[in-house]
Chains A and B, each alone.
Chain A
Amino acid sequence: MERKIPLPILLMAILGFCFLLFPILIVVLAGLTTGEFLTFPPKGLSLRWVISFLNSEKYLSAFFFSFKLALMTMVVSTALGTAAALFLARSRFVGHAALRAFFLSPVVLPGVVVGFALYAFFITSGMGVSRTIWGLWIGHILYSTPYVIGTVGASLATFDVSLEEAARSLGASPMRAFRKVTFPNIAQGVQAGSIFAFIVSFGQFEVSLFLSAPNSEPLPIAMYNSLRYKFEPDAAAAGIFAITLVIASVLLTNRLVNIRRLLDRQDV
């Protein structure tokens, strides 16, 4: 019997996965090394830098700052994004596709430019939020909400609207039909979307660049500022916690919605 995947393609794919994953593995090793920096072969493993991270004012506070910011972002992005996804799934009008594209556009537009635009806007408008957690919050919502729209949209695409219509025709109010019928069916998609929103905010760098300040510094910015000058193994230890968080989120997402289906074509 012939193999389904030709050997040369399989080998190239394996090399590709190494290129994708090796740097991440290296961060884990660098955070667990015994020495001052990672050497090859590694000198040995220890929890020295993990403990150092847990005691470091700089990285630990940045980690919790990012965590708080990501939670705040998650709440608003989930609410705004779910509502918008419901709207997009339920209506057809001229410019429908354009509106959807508009909501998704921040993901692919330069974060540095949007961050700079927000920074200048905050100063000009006198909102008093430039270089505070509130300004970062606004920027992060802009970049997290598209992921909620995408994920909730995918779960709405498989939801049969006639169920809600049946509830309505049996006399349920729109609100009640939504609460009792629609929401339970898309709840897992909403939860998955909120996890995406959290993790996108937690790892956000580009839009934060112009919006952060020394006393309001998310983890990626704090790591960047130290990485410009030297490799600090406690930064890698902070990275281990971030990697764990991301993998846990993706695993949780996969339990909530089938990620294989999430990636299939959706026209919502």
Chain B
Amino acid sequence: MAGAKKNLIAGLSQHQFKWLLVVPLVAFFVLFFVIPVGLLLATSFNPAKVGQVAFVADLSLDNYIRFFSRSNYLMAAGRSVFLASIVSVITLVIAYPMAFVIAKTEHPARNTFLLILVLSSMQLDMVIRLYGMMVILGDNGLINQILKGMGLTEGPVALMYNFRGVVLGLVQFSLPFMILTLVGVIKAIPPSLEEAARSLGASRRRAFMRVTLPASMPGILSGSLLVFALSISSYIVPALMGGFRVGVLPIHIYQQVAESARFQFGATIAVILFLISATAVAIYLRLGNRSSGGLA
């Protein structure tokens, strides 16, 4: 009897002990994530008042009406969605062959080496990577120096401080995330599938197009959604590669808040950006976060 009682107590305390493990992080997330974002949502329903940060008990839809009735904000939203979509497609096209090569490299050391290259670039501060991009693509950058040296152009070719530059920067930013998502999925495709298609007489190209590519579809979808969410949220890339000339939502948020001190309207744009991004993330999670696990 005494033993049973002891076991019961131990079981009970272990059960409670388990919950204690997660309480600190839940508390942290509620206090510093849920409440602040909730407060931001509430503030977006406050009438605009320059310099006022705190939430007041006076609700209105003014900011949302303003957002949806001004063409430049609607266009910024459209531009953001368009930009993120284009970036997803281009990133996919560039990342797929890279992921394919990584997945098919069986030599352990070579495989690890390639993964280290991808992970290192992913973990490296984006500002540093953009510094490199700007040295390459700027008006006096390497590409323009080469073009001029070869006598191909008179003046500089505008490769950045425009939409194109932002796309290039965001693709560079998103590549590692897409690659890591795709590697796991491509690895999980049994090689026997493609071999079967080949043995039935399909050409390599046809076997790839009809078997391998469709089998990687889950990874293609989740990777694209992930890249969409990441690139629509980026401030640093449009700021530096677009030189503030490409007005996407994160740029507008910063301008409203830091330059005009219009917190309520800034909060409104922030809520709209948050919703677009969260929708993409929600679909991504629904599809089943396949391979990148906690890393991406």
Residue numbers of A with Cβ under 8 A of B are 2, 4-6, 9-10, 12-13, 15-17, 19-27, 30, 37-40, 79-81, 83-84, 86-88, 90-91, 99, 101-114, 116-118, 120-121, 123-124, 138-139, 141-142, 145-147, 149-151, 153-154, 168, 173-174, 196, 199-200, 202-203, 205-206, 209-210, 219-220, 223-224, 227-228, 231, 235-236, 239, 242-243, 246-247, 249-251, 253-254, 259-260, 262-266
Which 10 residue pairs spanning A and B have beta carbons closest together?
Answer: A150-B294, A23-B132, A110-B233, A203-B125, A121-B36, A117-B36, A12-B97, A87-B22, A87-B21, A26-B132
Report the separation of the CA atoms of residues A13 and B35 in the bound assembly, to the nearest whole angstrom: 44
Check if B49 is an interface residue, CB within 8 A of chain A.
no
How far in angstroms is the closest Cβ of chain B from A94? 15
Q: Are B121's CB and A174's CB within 8 A? A: no
Q: Which interface class (under 10, 10 to 19, 20 to 34, 35 or more) fits B?
A: 35 or more
Q: Pick the contact of A83 from B10, B22, B145 — CB < 8 Å?
A: B22
Residues of the B chain whose Cβ atoms lie less than 8 Å from the Cβ of A108: 226, 229-230, 233, 277, 281, 284
Q: Pick the contact of B131 from A30, A199, A253 — CB < 8 Å?
A: A30
Q: Are B253's CB and A235's CB within 8 A? A: no
Q: Using A9-B101, A20-B117 as known contacts, say yes or no to A263 and B291 having CB atoms under 8 A apart.
A: yes
Check if B183 is an interface residue, CB within 8 A of chain A.
yes
**Interface residue SS majority, chain B:** helix
Q: Pick the contact of B135 from A220, A224, A231 — CB < 8 Å?
A: A231
Q: Are A26's CB and B204's CB within 8 A? A: no
Q: Are A113's CB and B253's CB within 8 A? A: yes
**Interface residue SS majority, chain A:** helix
Residues of the B chain whose Cβ atoms lie less than 8 Å from the Cβ of A260: 108, 111-112, 115
Report the separation of the CA atoms of residues A11 and B75 in the bound assembly, to the nearest whole angstrom: 38
Check if B293 is an interface residue, CB within 8 A of chain A.
yes
Residues of the B chain whose Cβ atoms lie less than 8 Å from the Cβ of A111: 233, 235
Residue numbers of B with Cβ under 8 A of A are 10, 13-14, 17-19, 21-22, 24-25, 28-29, 32-33, 35-37, 39-40, 43, 53-55, 94-95, 97-98, 100-101, 104-105, 108, 111-112, 115-121, 123-136, 140, 142, 145-146, 149, 171-172, 175-176, 180, 183-184, 187-188, 204, 208, 226, 229-230, 232-236, 239-240, 250, 253-254, 257-258, 263, 266-267, 270, 273-274, 277-278, 281, 284-285, 289-296
Q: Pick the contact of B270 from A4, A102, A113, A145 — CB < 8 Å?
A: A113
Residues of the A chain whose Cβ atoms lie less than 8 Å from the Cβ of B236: 205-206, 224
Q: Pick the contact of A124 from B22, B53, B266 — CB < 8 Å?
A: B53
Report the separation of the CA atoms of residues A123 and B294 in the bound assembly, to the nearest whole angstrom: 32
Residues of the A chain whose Cβ atoms lie less than 8 Å from the Cβ of B184: 263-265
Residues of the B chain whose Cβ atoms lie less than 8 Å from the Cβ of A9: 97, 100-101
Q: Are B128's CB and A24's CB within 8 A? A: yes
Residues of the B chain whose Cβ atoms lie less than 8 Å from the Cβ of A13: 97-98, 100-101
Residues of the A chain whose Cβ atoms lie less than 8 Å from the Cβ of B284: 108
Q: Are A23's CB and B136's CB within 8 A? A: yes
Q: Are B33's CB and A87's CB within 8 A? A: no
Residues of the B chain whose Cβ atoms lie less than 8 Å from the Cβ of A102: 29
Q: Are B32's CB and A147's CB within 8 A? A: no
Q: Are B97's CB and A117's CB within 8 A? A: no
How far in angstroms is the closest Cβ of chain B from A228? 7
Residue in A closest to B128 when the chains form the complex, CB atoms: A239
Interface centre among A20, A103, A223, by most B CB within 10 Å? A20
Report the separation of the CA atoms of residues A181 and B39 in the bound assembly, to the nearest whole angstrom: 44
Q: Using A109-B274, A228-B240, A266-B293 as known contacts, say yes or no to A223 and B127 having CB atoms under 8 A apart.
A: yes
Q: Are B128's CB and A27's CB within 8 A? A: yes
Q: Pick the contact of A147 from B37, B291, B294 — CB < 8 Å?
A: B294
Q: Are B55's CB and A124's CB within 8 A? A: yes
Report the separation of the CA atoms of residues A84 and B115 in the bound assembly, to the nearest whole angstrom: 27
Q: Are B97's CB and A16's CB within 8 A? A: yes
Q: Are A263's CB and B134's CB within 8 A? A: no
Residues of the A chain whose Cβ atoms lie less than 8 Å from the Cβ of B18: 87, 90-91
Residues of the B chain whose Cβ atoms lie less than 8 Å from the Cβ of A2: 204
How far in angstroms is the closest Cβ of chain B from A9? 5
Q: Pick the contact of A120 from B53, B204, B291 — CB < 8 Å?
A: B53
Q: Are A209's CB and B180's CB within 8 A? A: no
How far in angstroms is the closest Cβ of chain B from A53? 13
